[in-house]
């Protein structure tokens, strides 16, 4: 009975969506448009219905209601309560219901906070947002219903994928979805604004909040996913250019470009058309990521392995939305009142434009690297994978000038500036960066292409962003985010150059030498937990001055029967000691992998700083 409550709630939400779309489309034909209280009430009821549906699914997971097929496929009675709850969205059907939940709540918030804006603009935004909600309701109810029944009722479920049973991954999808779904409001708002002829500074000021919210949540969501992959998968790194990692990075790159464009539009009343194009593209990339992850096309540890026919629905729906938005853009383009004053060559406007061009190039490389293998397999059934070398060779040469322009761009004036006056401080910092980079590259034997200019510009940007905190004109949010980005790039470079790795097959009692350290496999103990058995290896790592004990695990899960490796990581402000081991077929032997990963914690801190700068911007009126 409780299972059907969630199902019926979704049908009620679908009927409300149909009614609101019909009502708003009729209202838009009238000369006098008002967003009636009835429509607002319906939006409120729709949000409540989706909330009830989602809570019903959570209840089904918590109570192990195996009459629900989704619960049966993704839960088990011995699973801890926390993972029963997170299992609600740790699957295809539940994650789509979470998407829908955020969609309806965001629309409700938009309706409340935009009450002082043009009624035509609000009604149009509501109309487009309801089309998206309607599409997701159809998709959920008729292809991916989380409330499908099973009979006879099984006594036990098949369980949740063990690698998903982790705190970081439990909160990763909701936060990531807040970023993804926020782009739908940006999309609907941009279409509404272009039809109503209100792509202007006022619109930029309003939509900036939604861009910032989406950008911040997407940044934090990507961070959590990266941290999870680092310690849970045992890969010992923070980014692997996995296709599902890429589909979250692409809308982030586009959002970053849009964020700078919206700031400029708000300040200088230019880049009107470009802001609309970026708004449409950002949402399209978010939807494309949803399609790729849920279509069964991508081969990744992160994907939901489902019937590809489900992806066809999303693909068709995405095509309709993109085609509709392109038609609206070209049909109503004349309503955009562009500022015909072109930006001077040396100006902050030009710096923003350059930023956008670099972001679009980075986005294009990631997009090609992600979808090219898919098209190649479709055309000639040839399977290939594109890894880090492809991205590094294409991105690094353009990252170097990007870092340079990022260092000088924020200090350029609006409208027009001059380069005749040499900034002694910046020149001094640049010379220091050259000297430091040269000795560093020479000492550690860094020999890859463009290593010296890459280090020079990274260190230069790092010092410049620190110097900017002491400038007279304070724009603290921008300074924090830019400093966070400079710290991110520098930490990644140092991590890549200074990382060391040891790998060997060992059994209990063995010792191995690595650099100036001795690695000893001391013992193994077995512990029985609630839903798995844990084999804990005890390792001692000694050098001349210190001794470190690390205890990685092998977890043997009962349901489903799976073995996972749990790395043990000892972190300091300077480096991580990372150790993981795996079972080998040879009796008593285990593959042991030990890594020294410098500055890992600063990679995580830098992304937090980038996101924190965005949060501060929510309270600011101007750039």
Indicate left, alpha or beta for 96 from its phi (over 0: left) and psi (-120 to 50: alpha). alpha
The secondary element (H helix, E strand) that includes residue 534 is strand 532-542
Tens digit of each residue's pLDDT (9 = 90 or more) over 294-316: 665 655 544 454 556 676 787 88
Nearest to 137 by CA among 146, 149, 150, 127: 146
Residue 419 has a pLDDT of 61
- C-alpha 605, offset from chain centre: 16
3-state class of 118 per DSSP? coil
Cis ω on the peptide bond leading into residue 27 (within 30° of 0)? no
DSSP 8-class letter at 149:
B
Every domain of the chain and the residues it spans: 1-165, 169-421, 500-601
Residue 32 has a pLDDT of 52
Residue 156 has a pLDDT of 87
Indicate left, alpha or beta for 214 from its phi (over 0: left) and psi (-120 to 50: alpha). alpha
The rounded distance, in Å, linking the Cα atoms of 195 and 124 is 8
Q: How far is CA 70 from CA 145, 260, 355, 585, in A?
A: 9, 42, 45, 35
Positions in the chain short of pLDDT 50:
301-303, 305, 622-623
Residue 384 has a pLDDT of 78
Residue 622 has a pLDDT of 43
The rounded distance, in Å, linking the Cα atoms of 306 and 73 is 12
Q: How far is CA 32 from CA 29, 40, 82, 119, 469, in A?
A: 9, 18, 51, 9, 51
Residue 344 has a pLDDT of 67
The rounded distance, in Å, linking the Cα atoms of 62 and 83 is 9
3-state class of 83 per DSSP? helix
| CB count in 10 Å sphere of residue 110 | 21
Tokens describing residue 173: 């999808």
Sheet of 575-583, strands arranged across: 500-506, 590-598, 575-583, 568-571
Cis ω on the peptide bond leading into residue 443 (within 30° of 0)? no
Nearest to 521 by CA among 484, 551, 480, 491: 551
The secondary element (H helix, E strand) that includes residue 348 is helix 348-380
First-residue to last-residue Cα distance in the chain: 54
Residue 473 has a pLDDT of 63
| CB count in 10 Å sphere of residue 266 | 21
Global pTM reads 0.92
């Amino acid at each position: 009975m409780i299972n059907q409550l969630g199902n019926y709630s979704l049908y009620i939400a679908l009927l409300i969506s149909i009614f609101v779309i019909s009502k708003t489309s009729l209202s838009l034909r009238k000369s006098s448009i008002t967003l009636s209280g009835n429509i607002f009430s319906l939006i409120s009821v729709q949000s409540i219905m989706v909330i009830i549906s989602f809570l019903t699914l959570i209840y089904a997971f918590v109570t192990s209601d195996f009459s629900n097929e989704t619960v049966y496929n993704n839960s088990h009675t011995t699973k801890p309560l926390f993972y029963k709850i997170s299992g609600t969205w740790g699957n295809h059907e539940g994650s789509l219901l979470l998407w829908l939940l955020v969609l309806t709540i965001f629309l409700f918030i938009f309706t409340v906070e935009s009450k002082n804006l043009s009624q035509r603009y609000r009604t149009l935004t509501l109309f487009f947002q309801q089309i998206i909600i309607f599409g997701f309701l159809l998709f959920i109810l008729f292809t991916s219903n989380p409330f499908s029944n099973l009979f006879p009722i099984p006594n036990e479920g098949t369980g949740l994928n063990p690698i998903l049973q982790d705190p970081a991954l439990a909160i990763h999808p909701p936060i990531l979805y807040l970023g993804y779904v926020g782009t739908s409001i940006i999309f609907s708002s941009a279409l509404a604004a272009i039809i109503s002829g209100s792509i202007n500074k006022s619109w930029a000021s309003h939509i900036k909040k939604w861009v910032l919210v989406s950008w911040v949540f997407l940044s934090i969501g990507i961070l959590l996913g990266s941290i999870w992959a680092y310690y849970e998968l045992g890969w010992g790194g923070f980014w692997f250019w996995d296709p599902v990692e890429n589909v979250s990075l692409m809308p982030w790159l586009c959002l970053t470009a849009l964020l700078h464009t919206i700031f400029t539009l708000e300040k200088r009343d230019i880049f009107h058309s470009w802001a609309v194009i970026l708004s449409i593209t950002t949402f399209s990339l978010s939807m494309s990521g949803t399609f790729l992850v849920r279509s069964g096309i991508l081969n990744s540890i992160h994907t939901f392995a489902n019937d590809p026919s489900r992806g066809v629905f999303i693909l068709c729906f995405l095509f309709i939305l993109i085609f509709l938005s392109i038609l609206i853009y070209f049909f109503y383009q004349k309503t955009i009142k562009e500022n015909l004053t072109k930006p001077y060559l040396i100006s902050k406007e030009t710096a923003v434009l350059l930023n956008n061009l670099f972001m679009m190039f980075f986005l294009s490389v990631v997009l090609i690297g992600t979808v090219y293998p898919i098209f190649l397999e479709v055309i000639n059934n040839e399977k290939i994978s594109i890894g880090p070398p492809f991205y590094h060779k294409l991105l690094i040469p353009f990252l170097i000038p990007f870092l340079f322009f990022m260092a000088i761009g924020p200090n350029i004036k609006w409208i027009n500036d001059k380069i005749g006056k040499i900034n002694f401080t910046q020149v001094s910092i640049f010379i220091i960066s050259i000297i430091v980079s040269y000795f560093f590259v020479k000492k550690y034997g860094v020999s890859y292409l463009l290593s010296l200019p890459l280090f020079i510009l990274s260190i230069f940007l790092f010092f410049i962003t620190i110097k900017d905190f002491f400038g007279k004109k304070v724009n603290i949010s921008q300074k924090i985010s830019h400093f966070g980005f400079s710290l991110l790039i520098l930490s990644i470079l140092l991590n890549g150059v200074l990382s060391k790795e040891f790998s060997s097959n060992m059994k209990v009692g063995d010792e191995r030498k690595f650099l100036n350290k001795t690695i000893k496999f001391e013992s193994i103990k077995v512990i029985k937990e609630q839903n798995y058995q844990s084999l804990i290896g005890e390792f001692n790592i000694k050098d001349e001055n210190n001794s470190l004990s690390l205890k990685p695990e092998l977890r043997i899960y009962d349901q489903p029967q799976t073995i996972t490796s749990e790395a043990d990581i000892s972190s300091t402000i300077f480096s991580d000691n990372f150790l993981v081991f795996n079972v080998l077929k040879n009796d008593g032997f285990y593959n042991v992998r030990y890594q020294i990963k410098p500055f890992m914690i600063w990679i995580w801190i830098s992304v937090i700083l980038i996101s924190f700068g965005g949060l501060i911007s929510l309270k600011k009126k101007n750039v």
